Amino acid sequence: MRTTAKAAGLVPAMEWRDLERADSVVVVSAPPAWSDARVEAWLDWAGEIEPKAPLGGGPARYAERIAKIGLSRGVFGDKADAAAFKDALLATMLSGIATPAGGQAGLDLLPEIVEFEFQSTVKDRLARRRGRILAAQAAARLDASLAQVADAVRRCSGDIRACMDVRKNPALARAARKARELGADDRTILDAIATADAPRVAPLEAVPEPELAMIASATRQSVAAGDEGASLAAQVGWETSALTLALSPNDAELLSRGVGVGAAIDASAFLDADGFDVERFTYVCHLWGTALELDRGEAPARLALAGVGDCLLSLGYAQTSVEGRDGAAALWALTVGAALSASAEAAAVLGQDPVFAQDKQGVLKTLAERRVRAAALRSALSTEAAAALATAHALARKHGLRSAAMVGPFEDAEATLRLGGSPVGAAGAQSPISVSQTADGFLLPTFSPAAFEALSTEGVDLDAARRHALGHGSLAESPAIDHVMLQARGFTAHEIEKAENALRDHHGLRDAFAPAVVGAGFLRDVLGASAEDVARRDFDTLAFADFSATEIAVAERHALGAGRLGDCDALNPELREAFQSVEAPTFADRLAMLAAVESFACRPSPVTIPVAFDSRPADAVRAQAAAARAGIRALRLQRAEAPADFKLDLPEEPAPEPTRAATPAREPVVTERVVEKIVERDRSRRRLPDRRKGYIQKAAVGGHKVYLHTGEYEDGELGELFIDMHKEGAAFRSLMNNFAIAVSLGLQHGVPLDEFVEAFVYTKFEPAGPVTGNDSIKSATSILDYVFRELGVSYLGRDDLANGDPGEFNADGLGAGKHLDDETLGDAEPDPVPASRFISKGFSRGATPDNLVFASFGRPRVEGADRPGNEGEMCPACGDLSLVRRGGMTVCDTCGAQSDRPGPVASS
């Protein structure tokens, strides 16, 4: 075989590129226009990287290996021919117009779906699969219930024999009943109880059977009609998503053999100012057809095209139009003719494939039919495609074929990345809105080459199209949210600049104004957001600044654009349709395009038909039939996974109606029940209002002044307290202040006040002794005892904590107090007390009238009643004749004032 002198393509100039790998930094040479991601894709394919070699040396090693195989097997006449082949193959890879691709494993081939053997085999394998799934689910639930049985024993404290007794351990009884309901027998439950202290051992997993992946064949008519066999195939696909259904026995045989090696050619790279370069494209397809025949060995090979949709878009054709489908079909027909010509030339030296020899006439007949259909295509390439197929037919008749099914569409993400983003497939096209890498390594949004070519050819206003699709890149002059409106809401130029710099990186206006971008401190201090709000992941800064969802959407459209060209008013209707077919193709349009391409392709590409997770098998049958009627050659049903939070909305079980039949009355049987009550408290902090109520109590404990300040919620519940003392050391005062802060935080986080009261009353430490200045507390064993007695009396109504006799100073501090009998009370009327004594005029901002009084407060005053203290001296504090001497002190029994001056001795 003599390689023609036609160049496969000019190798672009290379530049050094420093790329950071997982474990090192490598220096390779690559085209300047290529992105780092594209270069790294070639390095990943190369495996071993040669420093400073073009694309890591992988393409050169591949081309040299293929040339050596061809020279050793006699495909090339001499070393010069082999070298020319190697240089041409290497040029296609270094210029980025072609790349090797991976293979595909074969699948288990089953008979046709109309045969009884298929139905019985599938039903048996399907039943075993269901059994494995149900057994795994049941085992998991049962193992979890037995683990709860063991946990109930371990969590129990006390006598181990009682903890292991279901009659004495209620938690163990509940766990055992649940395990029994899930199918565990009592012996297994007993074993779980007995081995509760042993280390937990996970159950052994059953050896899984091979995955239910298979191929079945059927006639197109049976699948389109949805007969019994087709319904069974749809049910298998709906349940397993693992059945590939070929619509002819030959296609099923091809798919079952798998693929050893492959390659992809970028068709969009052959468009130039003069149109499509048919000669160069045919040469490259012939070149790679020969390379695959030399590389494949005994395994089949496949050749596919990439960027077919980009070719159509550059020419202004919509994939939904007849011209677009015929244009794609012509490209694939041209590829089939060139590749099969290369296969026939290889067969002249290496011998023809035995599979082709068995069905030579059928293959030749198919080629002749394709030539006739290609000539009838409404495309500028129809004549060249028919001529290429005619040449392949003549060579195949003369030499036979090494691969009768080499060309066919498939998808390969890695090959797509090596080709610069041109998708491999029937009519793959890049998104019209793409990204380009600058010399500094930044990625900027831009038009794809095909979109730019289409816009330029049609004379579209590029600036208008760019503003529509890519936006203005700034919020300046935005019709909804501009710089002036942001500054009016509190944003400064600094925050606006940071948000606009992050617009492109965050792909959204809300993300650009996130707390991590504009600053959490700014949101708290300027906009007034709380720390809890700023910490939330879904915090929306613009919504917090009172911008509506409509305003945000309009501003985002102005800054970032629509991200598409299919609805741009600057385009004519035909071009808009072309962009819409690329940006949002319908499933029916995709099927129509695939059917048009597969009418010329040698091997089918199973199309994945999506099925909703909540669909029925009947829905799968209809979707399968529709795909068969569209003309595709193979399909596979793919049922979507259920959402993670999916849950059936089951109605509540109705309560059984009481029976009206008279039943003899039975005495109730009293049984002992153990009731567990779990109370969960909210751990979030309940903050006090900025302007709050409270009171200040001045008192002295053992001669040490204490000022108690309280703060209350709107409902009067205590929320904070402060303890101020004088003439104490700095350390003691600091400890008391921080203790009050700790108690305040506890109250605001839901700790009940009575818990603090029970914890701190009756504590004993100095200072302690008589309490003056408090009408309820007369003595205390410590400062904390006094504080929490006062809070208990004032906020909890704990009159039992009040005392009135400082002479009885002991551990509990409780005195007998004073007593007025019922006769003394009589008809005495309490004195009215002004409300200003209890309501802060400053807190209410003067809203309380001055003439408001409380009609009843405290204990009544009784004139002339016989009580201790009437014969005493007048108290200088309150004016009552109740100043008596107790021990070495004089005490007023009315107000509790104390002094050291002598006074009258209290009568017994």
pTM value is: 0.64
Average pLDDT over residues 144-160: 83
Q: How far apart are CA 59 and CA 64, in angstroms?
A: 9
Of 121-125, 338-342, 771-775, the range with the lowest mean pLDDT is 121-125
Q: Dump the DSSP string for 142-157.
A: HHHHHHHHHHHHHT--
Instruction: Decide which of 443 and 319 is more confident.
Output: 319
Task: Kindly give, in sequence order, each residue whose CB lies less than 8 Å from that of residue 732, ignoring residues fewer than 6 positions away.
Answer: 725
According to DSSP, the residues that pair with 891 across neighbouring strands are 884, 898
% of the chain at pLDDT higher than 90: 26
Model pLDDT, residue 394: 94
Average pLDDT over residues 265-282: 91
Tell me the Cα Rg of the chain: 45
Residue 825 confidence (pLDDT) above 50: no
> Please, is 175 exposed, middle or buried when counting C-beta atoms within 10 Å of its C-beta (0-12, 13-18, 19+)?
buried
Q: Which two tokens stand for residue 368?
A: 């002749």
Model pLDDT, residue 908: 37
Model pLDDT, residue 214: 60
Give the three-class secondary structure for 704: strand
Residue 900 confidence (pLDDT) above 80: no
Model pLDDT, residue 110: 54
Return the amino acid letter for 118.
F
- Classify residue 643 by its DSSP letter: P
Helix axes 58-72, 79-94, angle to 10 degrees: 150
- Classify residue 611 by its DSSP letter: E
CB crowding 66-82: b at 16 or more within 10 Å, else e = bbebbbeeebbeeeebb
Q: Are 693 and 712 in contact (CB under 8 A)?
A: yes
Q: How far apart are CA 637 and CA 143, in angstroms?
A: 34
Q: How far apart are CA 769 and CA 701, in angstroms?
A: 6
Mean pLDDT, rounded, of the chain: 81
Q: How far apart are CA 515 and CA 450, in angstroms?
A: 39
According to DSSP, the residues that pair with 68 across neighbouring strands are none
What are the backbone angles phi and psi of residue 619, rounded to the nearest 5°?
-65, -40
Return the amino acid letter for 383.
T
Encode pLDDT of 275-332 as tens digits: 899 999 999 999 999 999 999 888 889 999 999 999 999 988 999 999 999 999 999 9
Q: How crowded is residue 832: how many other Cβ atoms within 10 Å of its Cβ?
A: 11
Q: How far apart are CA 153 and CA 147, in angstroms?
A: 10
Q: Which two tokens stand for residue 708?
A: 């108690």
* Distance (Å) of CA 26 to CA 37, 418, 500: 14, 18, 35
Encode pLDDT of 532-588 as tens digits: 888 888 899 999 999 999 999 999 899 888 888 888 888 888 898 999 999 888 989
Q: Which two tokens stand for residue 242?
A: 């693992």
Encode pLDDT of 76-86 as tens digits: 988 999 999 99
Return the amino acid letter for 337.
G
SS3 content of the chain, % helix, strand, coil (to 5): 45, 15, 45
Q: Are 803 and 814 in contact (CB under 8 A)?
A: yes
736 pLDDT band, cuts 50/70/90, is confident
Model pLDDT, residue 677: 59
Residue 664 confidence (pLDDT) above 90: no
Q: How far apart are CA 618 and CA 63, in angstroms?
A: 52
Residue 868 confidence (pLDDT) above 60: no
Peptide bond between residue 617 and the one before it cis (omega within 30 degrees of 0): no
765 pLDDT band, cuts 50/70/90, is confident
Encode pLDDT of 43-56 as tens digits: 999 888 888 889 99
The C-alpha angle 33, 37, 41, rounded to 5 degrees, equals 110
Average pLDDT over residues 745-753: 89
Q: How far apart are CA 3 and CA 81, in angstroms?
A: 6
Encode pLDDT of 172-229 as tens digits: 888 888 888 877 877 778 777 877 776 665 554 544 444 445 666 777 777 887 788 7
According to DSSP, the residues that pair with 769 across neighbouring strands are 780
Residue 385 confidence (pLDDT) above 90: yes
CB crowding 221-250: b at 16 or more within 10 Å, else e = ebbbebbebbbbbbbbbbbbbbbbbbbbeb
Residue 692: closest CA among 840, 838, 848, 847:
840
808 pLDDT band, cuts 50/70/90, is very low
Q: Which two tokens stand for residue 411?
A: 């998808």
Model pLDDT, residue 863: 43
Instruction: Decide which of 356 and 4 is more confident.
Output: 356
Average pLDDT over residues 52-77: 91
875 pLDDT band, cuts 50/70/90, is confident
Q: Which two tokens stand for residue 118?
A: 């298929």
According to DSSP, the residues that pair with 801 across neighbouring strands are none
Q: Which domains does the chain have, with CATH numbers?
A: 1-96 (no CATH), 124-194 (no CATH), 213-258+606-644 (no CATH), 261-458+583-605 (3.20.70.20), 483-560 (no CATH), 696-801 (no CATH), 867-908 (no CATH)
Beta-sheet pairing, 833-834 with 883-886: unpaired
Give the three-class secondary structure for 827: coil
Model pLDDT, residue 822: 45
Return the amino acid letter for 771.
V
Residue 419: closest CA among 378, 440, 449:
449
Q: Which two tokens stand for residue 201?
A: 């051992």
Q: Which two tokens stand for residue 158?
A: 């006390």
Q: Which two tokens stand for residue 505?
A: 């990186």
Q: How crowded is residue 359: how many other Cβ atoms within 10 Å of its Cβ?
A: 13
Q: Are 400 and 81 in contact (CB under 8 A)?
A: no
816 pLDDT band, cuts 50/70/90, is very low
Q: How far apart are CA 215 and CA 250, in angstroms?
A: 12
Model pLDDT, residue 844: 63
- Measured in whole angstroms, how far is the alpha carbon of residue 409 from the centre of its chain? 33
Q: Please list the alpha-helical segments (H only) found in 572-722.
A: 573-583, 587-598, 617-630
CB crowding 604-641: b at 16 or more within 10 Å, else e = bbbbebebeeebeeeebbebbbebbebebbbbbbebee
Beta-sheet pairing, 634-639 with 607-611: parallel
Model pLDDT, residue 264: 94
Q: How far apart are CA 46 and CA 668, in angstroms?
A: 84
Task: Kindly give, in sequence order, each residue whose CB lies less than 8 Å from that of residue 735, ignoring residues fewer than 6 positions away.
Answer: none
Model pLDDT, residue 766: 86
Residue 807 confidence (pLDDT) above 50: no
The C-alpha angle 428, 429, 431, rounded to 5 degrees, equals 140
Task: Kindly give, in sequence order, each residue whose CB lies less than 8 Å from that of residue 518, ignoring residues fewer than 6 positions away.
Answer: 491, 495, 498, 499, 541
Q: Are 286 and 342 in contact (CB under 8 A)?
A: yes
Encode pLDDT of 482-534 as tens digits: 999 999 888 998 998 888 888 867 668 888 898 988 898 988 888 888 988 88
Give the three-class secondary structure for 24: coil
Instruction: Give me the torsion for CA of 50, 55, 57, 62, rounded to 10°.
Output: 150
Q: How far apart are CA 834 and CA 842, in angstroms?
A: 16
Residue 866 confidence (pLDDT) above 80: no
Instruction: Decide which of 102 and 504 is more confident.
Output: 102
Average pLDDT over residues 587-598: 92
Model pLDDT, residue 401: 92
- What is the separation, in whole angstroms, between the first and last Cα of the chain? 137
Encode pLDDT of 331-380 as tens digits: 999 999 999 999 999 999 988 888 888 888 989 999 999 999 999 999 99
3-state secondary structure 76-88: CCCHHHHHHHHHH
Model pLDDT, residue 189: 80
Model pLDDT, residue 823: 45
Residue 340: closest CA among 359, 366, 358:
366
Model pLDDT, residue 811: 41
Instruction: Decide which of 727 and 90 is more confident.
Output: 90
Give the three-class secondary structure for 770: strand
Q: Are 604 and 251 in contact (CB under 8 A)?
A: yes
